[in-house]
Amino acid sequence: MKIRYTTIRFSLSIMFLVNLYSCKSDIAKNERLKVQKIHAVEEVKTSKTIDHMNGVIFFSLDNGITWENKSEGLPTTIGLGLGAIAVSDNQLGISTKDKGVYLFDFQKNKWVNIPTDKQVLDNNPGPLIFFKEGIYVGTQTGGVYFSNNRGKTWTNLNIGLDSPTIRKFTVIDNKLYIGTNAGFYSFNELQNTWELEYGNGSLQVNGITEYDGNIYLGTNKGLFFSPIGEKEWKQTLDDRTLHNISSDDHTIYAMTYNVLLSSTDKGLNWKNIQEGLPAELYTFNIIKNGKYVFAGQWDGVYRKDASNQIWKSYSNGLPPEFAIANMKVYKGMIVVSGNQRKLKEGMTTNK
For the segment 268-281, the average pLDDT, to the nearest whole number, is: 93
Q: Could you tell me if 37 and 25 are in contact, meaning their C-beta atoms sit under 8 angstroms apart?
A: no
For the segment 275-290, the average pLDDT, to the nearest whole number, is: 93
Q: In 10 A of CB 136, how many CB atoms?
A: 23
Q: pLDDT band for 201, please (50, 70, 90 cuts).
A: confident
**Does 343 have pLDDT greater than 70?**
no
**pLDDT for the residue 120:** 97
Q: In 10 A of CB 58, how many CB atoms?
A: 24
**pLDDT for the residue 127:** 98
CA 93 vs. chain centroid, Å, equals 11
φ, ψ (nearest 5 deg) of residue 44: -65, -45
**pLDDT for the residue 9:** 44
For the segment 79-94, the average pLDDT, to the nearest whole number, is: 96
Average pLDDT, the chain: 85
Running DSSP on this structure, what letter comes out for residue 19?
Answer: H
CA angle 324, 179, 258 (to 5 degrees): 45
109 phi-psi bin (left φ>0, alpha ψ -120 to 50, beta other): left
Q: pLDDT band for 38, please (50, 70, 90 cuts).
A: very low
**pLDDT for the residue 53:** 56
Confidence (pTM): 0.82
Cα→Cα distances 153→27, 69, 150, 213, 248, Å: 67, 31, 8, 36, 36
Q: pLDDT band for 92, please (50, 70, 90 cuts).
A: very high
